[in-house]
Chain A
């Protein structure tokens, strides 16, 4: 299954939910007689409601609604306009992942329970399948049994695994992993970090230390710092992204648990407010259930001609 089918499949429920609400909104507005009229207040309000119910956020929703109502009087379809606006927001934020020195160091960060460990396992598999030689580093020395959990994933993915003793300094493990990666000639070092709330200053400083250690070992490292966001997260996702950006230098998002009914609309809010690109989406519990993100196809799947 290609990206399109996979994401369509996983978004099927999402689409239904979003679509049902949306259908009601646009049906009136896109009817032959509706097209010639400017958008009325009720439609605007219903559209705003649909967007906010999708966690798109107040600011991004306001922007989309504004853009749409400004253009609508030219007789265009409301559906197409909304689609274009969301796509534009996502595309403006999109940028190719940085590439540089080997080993390419990737830090995976986020608050507790978003799926970092699982994602690291999937990411190892994905990169191995694309011909790279990844190495997994377990730097979550805090949560009970986190290292064991990741080890199971490393075995499943069939990649090298550098572990730490529970309670060890995470930065030291990262140092070991990068050294091992260099010695063994690996392309990629994937670092799983402990979940931490972005408001815990001391834990956030620990990430900064990991960064510094990585930077000393490989030029430009960490090349990617990916923030794992649960698709069910609400507007707090923005705060998370903002804090992790400023402390850990996050430069990409991984959206997980998109196989639920949540729409992951926060990704649109983040793209809108912070210009952070989405790199991957998680669509299930299997090791192959992580796919690279493409704005075009995401929006295609979200706005599929079901409605």
Chain B
């Protein structure tokens, strides 16, 4: 996410780092680079201009020029101004009284409304809500069917009266059903439409009037260009928008245009879609994104991902095992699976502070080898239960068998075992430390404190 922008900016700052003193000339050169980076990221022209002017005003300040760490000062200014650009939002959905809470999703064709409906349904269910979803897209062939499938995958109830082809009737029918059956959230998916299509905009207004939504989420493709502001602005003017969902942020799109929407149209980003899986939807956190853009890592998102992938019990069980020195190959395999559950490895690495640069090293198409994880898993799978619990059983012929069974080589099996033994040793030391005791609760408290720190 935002990788290219972050690469460009890091390049600029690296060249600044060499300067003992900043001069107006070097600041100007850096600003030119930042301007190009932002324009190539599709940030709106006017937003770029205003942004650069503000950064310049603050950067050529005597305090900054005279300071011993001018580059860091400039980074700070860019960071502050970017945060200001994103506005004072915290992502997710605001609390409202209405029951059922009605969420209307709208946007251009192909921005990802139906997929987002499913993801949002799943997200809400995870928060302990009971969402009902309904499609009012009677135009695109098989759109209603698509939501039925997506809803089923997300484990969310889909309201779908067969034969009802009037969008407004579908929406109000769903609202009545949600009321009667005790659903506390209704998500209404709508047909994609152009902001200049008067008939369809009227239809949208009619749906809005019928269900009186508290949230109108505009789904914006992160890859859109300069036109984004125009269409979002028009949707906002005609229908009203309360938040933006930035979709398809898992590509190399820089999302600059969609982000300008926030600055120009003045609506906050509520969620970010970061993949094709239904769990790939996260509340938007400007501070985290800015940190990531500037290569400062994103520990909080990482921890949240881990929390979602690991249950409290599993964590406690693992901790007990480590303390009692019972960590086996089986546990090792569970850990691998957990990591895989957390999402693409590259994405995870990017969240670790300092590792943003690591990606440059592997940039020349040498992607992080996701397959390596699968191979390790295959090796462990090819062992007998006994072997997994006691790796010391593994003699030469057993290793040969395992290599054959997993389609790998004996060298690979050996390497894995060596790594495992090292890991066991490390964990033993860790388990011996008193500080690890205390269980999950304590960890959670520490986390909450950290969140407070970051939010400031």
Chain A residues with CB under 8 Å of chain B are 13, 17, 49, 52-55, 57-58, 111-115, 142-146, 148-149, 151-153, 197-199, 201-202, 230, 232-237, 239-240, 257, 259-263, 265-266, 285
Contacts and interface: CB of A to CB of B under 8 A. Distances in A.
Interface of B: 36, 39-42, 45, 108-112, 139-143, 145-150, 153, 194-196, 221-228, 230-231, 248, 250-254, 256-257, 276, 367, 370
B36 A58 contact: yes
Contact of B252 (A58, A148, A199): A199
B226 A54 contact: yes
B141 A152 contact: yes
Q: Is the interface of A mostly helix, strand, loop or mixed?
A: loop
B253 to A, nearest CB: 4
A232 B251 CA distance: 16
A53 B196 contact: no
B223 A237 contact: yes
Given A52-B45, A149-B140, A197-B251, A232 B221 contact: yes
A113 B251 CA distance: 13
B225 A153 contact: no
Contacts of A265: 225
Nearest to A202: B370
A263 B42 contact: no
Contacts of B194: 257, 259-261
A232 B231 contact: yes
Given A201-B367, A261-B230, A152 B142 contact: yes
A235 B41 contact: yes
B141 A236 contact: no
A16 to B, nearest CB: 11
28 contacts: A17-B230, A52-B39, A53-B226, A113-B248, A144-B149, A145-B143, A145-B148, A148-B141, A148-B142, A152-B141, A198-B251, A230-B221, A232-B108, A232-B225, A234-B42, A235-B40, A236-B222, A236-B251, A257-B109, A260-B194, A260-B195, A260-B196, A260-B231, A261-B195, A261-B196, A261-B230, A263-B227, A265-B225
Contacts of B256: 234
Q: Of residues B41, B108, B195, B256, which shows the largest number of chain A Cβ atoms within 10 Å of its Cβ?
A: B108
A139 to B, nearest CB: 16
A143 B223 contact: no
Contacts of A17: 230
Contacts of A111: 223, 248, 251
Given A235-B42, A259-B194, A262-B227, A145 B145 contact: yes
Given A234-B223, A235-B225, A13 B196 contact: yes
A176 B227 CA distance: 41
A149 B142 contact: yes
A29 B36 CA distance: 26
A230 B45 contact: no
A234 B225 contact: yes
A257 B143 CA distance: 18
B199 to A, nearest CB: 12
Contacts of A58: 36, 39-40
Contacts of A144: 145-150, 153
